[in-house]
């Protein structure tokens, strides 16, 4: 059903046709964008799942060792041992543009006072499990940073895909059919107007002709009455 507010005029028709063309081009472009985003997204999500599984496993191992260490050492001692880290992490963030979506890229550097040394404590008063825990965590750190990047990317891409998908669907199933319907309505209305006009002209012509004939007949009758007799002129009937 065409909306009730459109004017069935030629100007409106031209305008609508232009809009339809733009909408169709926009629809095609958005569809391409959606497909490409989806392709990228699937890659990212697969990596995300694999990384997450790895990080979770690694962290559980670290937590396991850590719990044992916490059981063996007093809480104060444990906290003291870890209080002043030897290593520091520097993070730089840049942005990468995937199909007009800005996603973060992290680059990080670890600074260590002594090369290859992550344990910030002396070995005399700490348990061996603590070494294991710190070791496991430092191994998983690389994956954790990558996970942050990948997971954020997948979230941002998902949002953009959702938006694009909505737009594509709105154009495909609402906007474009509505415009086509309106165009059809206007063309039909204009054609109808044209036909009505032709018929009206024909009718008017008929009426004028009838009037002219009538006038002619009246004039004839008058002439006969004035100049002729009944015997030398044919009767009108």
Partner 1 sequence: MYKIAVMGDMDSVLGFKALGLEVCPVSTPEEGHEALHRMARENYAIIYMTEQLAVKLSADIARYKDALSPAIILIPGKEGPLGIGMSNVKTAVERAVGADIL
Judged by the rule CB under 8 A, the positions of this chain that interact with partner 1 are 38, 41, 45-46, 48-49, 52-53, 55-56, 59-60, 62-63, 66-67, 70, 78-79, 82-83, 85-93, 95, 102-104, 106, 108, 110-111, 118-120, 133-134, 137-138, 141, 144-145, 147-149, 151-152, 154-159, 161-162, 165
Strands 101-112, 87-98: pairing kind: antiparallel
Question: Shortest approach of partner 1 to residue 17 CB, angstroms?
Answer: 33
Is the CB of 92 or the CB of 230 nearer to partner 1? 92
Q: If you search the block for the tokens 């409106």, which residue do you land on?
A: 12
Distance CA 64, CA 132 (A): 9
Q: How far is CA 74 from CA 71, 86, 124, 132, 158, in A?
A: 7, 22, 14, 17, 46
Q: Which residues of 74-93 are buried (b: 16+ CB within 10 A; e: fewer)?
A: eeebbeebbeeeebeeeeee
2-5 LR contacts (CB < 8 Å, sep 24+): 2/178, 2/181, 2/182, 2/184, 2/185, 3/178, 3/182
Q: Considering the complex, what minimum distance in angstroms separates the CB of residue 82 from partner 1?
A: 5
Minimum distance of partner 1 from residue 102's CB (angstroms): 6
Given the complex with partner 1, which of 48 and 182 has the nearer CB atom? 48
Indicate the residue among 133 and 171 with the shorter CB distance to partner 1: 133
Min dist CB 111 to partner 1, Å, is: 8
**Alpha carbons 37 and 29: distance in angstroms, whole number:** 12
Q: How many CB atoms lie within 10 A of CB 149?
A: 20
Closer residue to partner 1, CB minimum distance, 91 or 204: 91
- Least distance from partner 1 to the Cβ atom of residue 191, Å: 42
Q: Which residue lies nearer to partner 1 by CB, 108 or 123?
A: 108
Kindly tell me which of 173 and 205 has the beta carbon lying closer to partner 1. 173
Pick the closer one to partner 1 by CB: 157 or 183. 157
What is the SS3 assignment for 114?
A: coil
Q: What span, in angstroms and rounded, lies between the C-alpha atoms of 191 and 211?
A: 30
Nearest-Å Rg of the Cα atoms of the chain is: 44
CB of 195 to partner 1, least distance (A): 48
Residue 44 beta carbon to partner 1: minimum distance, rounded to whole angstroms = 9
């Amino acid at each position: 059903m065409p909306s009730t507010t459109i004017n069935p005029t030629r100007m409106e028709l031209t305008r609508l046709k232009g809009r339809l063309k733009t909408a169709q081009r926009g629809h095609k472009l958005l569809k391409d964008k959606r497909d490409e985003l989806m392709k990228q997204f699937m890659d990212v999500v697969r990596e995300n799942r694999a990384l997450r599984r790895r990080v979770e496993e690694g962290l559980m191992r670290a937590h396991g060792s850590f719990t044992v260490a916490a059981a063996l050492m007093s809480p104060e001692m444990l906290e003291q041992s870890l209080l002043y880290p030897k290593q520091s992490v520097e993070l730089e963030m840049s942005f990468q543009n995937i199909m007009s979506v800005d996603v973060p890229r992290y680059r990080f550097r670890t600074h260590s006072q002594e090369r290859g040394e992550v344990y910030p404590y002396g070995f005399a008063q700490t348990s061996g499990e603590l070494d294991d825990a710190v070791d496991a965590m430092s191994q998983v750190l690389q994956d954790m940073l990558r996970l942050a990047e990948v997971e954020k990317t997948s979230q941002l891409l998902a949002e953009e895909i959702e938006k694009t998908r909505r737009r594509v669907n709105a154009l495909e199933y609402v906007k474009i059919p509505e415009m086509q319907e309106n165009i059809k309505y206007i063309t039909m209305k204009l054609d109808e107007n044209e036909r009505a006009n032709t018929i009206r002209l024909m009718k008017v012509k008929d009426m004028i002709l009838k009037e002219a004939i009538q006038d002619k007949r009246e004039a004839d009758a008058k002439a006969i009455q004035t100049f002729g007799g009944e015997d030398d002129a044919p009767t009108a009937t």
